[in-house]
Amino acid sequence: MRLLAAFHAAANPNAIPAPHIEYRAILPMLIVFGVACVGVLVEAFVPRVHRAVTQTVLALAGLVAALVAVVANTGLPRRLVVQSAVAADGPTLFIQGTILALSIGALLLIADRSIGADSDFVAQAADLPGTEQERASVRAGLRQTEVFPLAMFAVAGMMLFPAANDLVLAFVALEVLSLPLYLLAGMARRRRLLSQEAAVKYFLLGAFSSAFFVYGLALVYGYAKSVEYGDIATSLTSSDRGDSLVIVGLALIGISLLFKLSGVPFHWWTPDVYQGAPTPITAFMAAGTKVAAFGALLRVFFVAFGGLAWDWRPVVWGVAIATMVVGAILGVTQTDVKRLLAYSSIAHAGFILTAFAATTRASESSVLFYLVAYGFMNIGAFAIVMLVRDADGEANHLSRWVGLGRRSPLMAGIFALFLLAMAGLPPTSGLWAKVAVFQAAYQGGAGPLVIVGVLASAVTAYYYLRIIVLMFSQEPAVEGPTVVMPGALSAAAIALGVAVTIVLGVVPQTVLDLADKAVPFLR
């Protein structure tokens, strides 16, 4: 094909040179996107009874293949590829690998049909809740298997978002990751009105925040005459235009990114959406979106706008403090376990922001490590939430969790492990993750943030430990929910979460070194 192109160029003096595309560097994303497209065709041609199995196998195979491709690419030189639109550097590979591993865990939860009556997903999303039509769809054993290709499209977007080295491509990736999640949030099988409300809220606010991104992008382009991160960084020192244009642009882009990773004051959607969405999807977006959004945040702020660090650092300090405080304090008052985990995720975003505010090399690697540790404890915790059920589906109210440790010591014990990890206590990954980010923050001169972080950690530890006490120290209610035994798939997801949480808690050094080798971001 290259020969043909050369021949063509020789014959036609007006020929537009073809862009050079390094297919190997973007292979992991191409695999996931390709699998998503094949998934759509599966929906079109495979008979209904075989769809769920086909989709599960296809999606899992695709994610594993992409993970293999990521690992195989670690030997390649760090460089910008595809006309400088994508950065193929250490953080990209580290984050993409993390997202793929987390997605495998989440996909196992999505695919498991052994929990409850069927799955956590709606039989036919178009049926009105509570109608005869809905009951007919349930009786017919229908299932919305479009969940799989949608999730794969979201994974492809998540992988591209932190890898993009160009604001326009980053925006496209942001939309590719967000749009499927809006839909998936509305597909819960039970409490469907709550789920649909969550989807509408997420969509409206998400679309609004995307608009902020585009507006910021336009202003930055007006300043830098380019949307590529490297050019923007150069223009900060050379441009003759007023700084206000680029500062307002950066603020708008920052709002959009903080919205995605639920930083305060852009966090309002998080509890509602986490509560309303089907639990496997909550696990998926809590882990995956956070990793992708933090990856993109680091790249945009460090690579493109590193020259403005003196301007944006005070704002990040404020946001970090607000995020930690709001996540910690509002979490105390929650009575629904999914909302509680949502506020916990807000607090964790705040802890990660403390390291980000330090803007050193150590802050990059400590954020990467935190994202791995946090992602896996999240997948595991939501997997356990799926198992505690009564006749109406999941029993999410904390009063229903009383005495669960007596009824099912194993599952309650595993949940307690994840809670300890979120609280940052040994022997779990959470301890080292917190140590890493607070150390990076302290060394980077963000000492006051560390103090707030430690205090906020203590408050969050209170509500995690309260659940543990609730589960183990009291007698279960007579009519309480049961803990169903997980099927093979979700058992595998829980095992993955437990393994990573304990291994990173006991021997964190390997992954710490890996994260340290992955940074810095290619500038």
Partner 1 sequence: MFSYVPIFALFLLAGGFAVFSIIAGSLTGPKRYNRAKYDAYECGIEPTPQPVGGGRFPVKYYLTAMLFIVFDIEIIFLYPWAVAYADMGVFGLVEMVLFIVTVFIAYVYVWRRGGLEWD
Q: What residue ranges bind partner 1 (CB under 8 A)?
A: 1, 4-5, 8-9, 12, 14-16, 18-19, 37, 40-41, 43-45, 128
Q: Which pair of tokens denotes residue 196?
A: 């649909």
* Of residues 4 and 478, the one with the C-beta less far from partner 1: 4
List own/partner pairs for 38-44 with CB under 8 A and 24 or more apart: 39/148, 39/149, 39/152, 40/149, 42/149, 43/145, 43/146, 43/149
* Of residues 9 and 315, the one with the C-beta less far from partner 1: 9
* Of residues 19 and 75, the one with the C-beta less far from partner 1: 19
> Please, what is the minimum distance in Å from the beta carbon of residue 168 to partner 1?
16
* Of residues 146 and 364, the one with the C-beta less far from partner 1: 146
* Of residues 20 and 139, the one with the C-beta less far from partner 1: 20
* Of residues 131 and 335, the one with the C-beta less far from partner 1: 131
> Please, what is the minimum distance in Å from the beta carbon of residue 50 to partner 1?
15
User: By three-state DSSP, how is residue 190 classified?
Assistant: coil
Check if the beta carbon of residue 109 is closer than 8 Å to that of residue 490: yes
> Please, what is the minimum distance in Å from the beta carbon of residue 18 to partner 1?
3
Q: In whole angstroms, what is the distance from residue 369 CA to residue 336 CA? A: 29
> Please, what is the minimum distance in Å from the beta carbon of residue 45 to partner 1?
6
Residue 332: which H helix or E strand, with range? Answer: helix 309-332
Q: Which pair of tokens denotes residue 423?
A: 């609280």
* Of residues 44 and 391, the one with the C-beta less far from partner 1: 44
> Please, what is the minimum distance in Å from the beta carbon of residue 1 to partner 1?
6
Q: In whole angstroms, what is the distance from residue 511 CA to residue 523 CA? A: 23
Give the relative orientation of helices 488-506 and 90-111 as an angle to the nearest 10 degrees: 140
* Of residues 41 and 71, the one with the C-beta less far from partner 1: 41
Q: To the nearest 10°, the Cα dihedral for 208, 213, 215, 221? A: -170
Q: In whole angstroms, what is the distance from residue 254 CA to residue 399 CA? A: 39
> Please, what is the minimum distance in Å from the beta carbon of residue 145 to partner 1?
12
DSSP letter (8 states) at residue 226:
-
> Please, what is the minimum distance in Å from the beta carbon of residue 37 to partner 1?
5
Which of these, 20, 24, 101, 21, lies nearest to 69 by C-alpha position? 24
> Please, what is the minimum distance in Å from the beta carbon of residue 338 to partner 1?
27
* Of residues 9 and 236, the one with the C-beta less far from partner 1: 9
Check if the beta carbon of residue 118 is closer than 8 Å to that of residue 484: no
Alpha-helical segments (H) within 114-260: 132-139, 147-163, 167-185, 192-224, 229-238, 243-260
User: By three-state DSSP, how is residue 346 classified?
Assistant: helix
264 C-beta neighbours (distance < 10 Å), count? 24
* Of residues 17 and 75, the one with the C-beta less far from partner 1: 17
Check if the beta carbon of residue 176 is closer than 8 Å to that of residue 153: yes
> Please, what is the minimum distance in Å from the beta carbon of residue 19 to partner 1?
8
* Of residues 8 and 50, the one with the C-beta less far from partner 1: 8
Check if the beta carbon of residue 187 is closer than 8 Å to that of residue 125: yes
> Please, what is the minimum distance in Å from the beta carbon of residue 410 to partner 1?
42
Q: In whole angstroms, what is the distance from residue 523 CA to residue 516 CA? A: 16
313 C-beta neighbours (distance < 10 Å), count? 18
> Please, what is the minimum distance in Å from the beta carbon of residue 182 to partner 1?
16
Q: Which amino acid is at 374?
A: Y
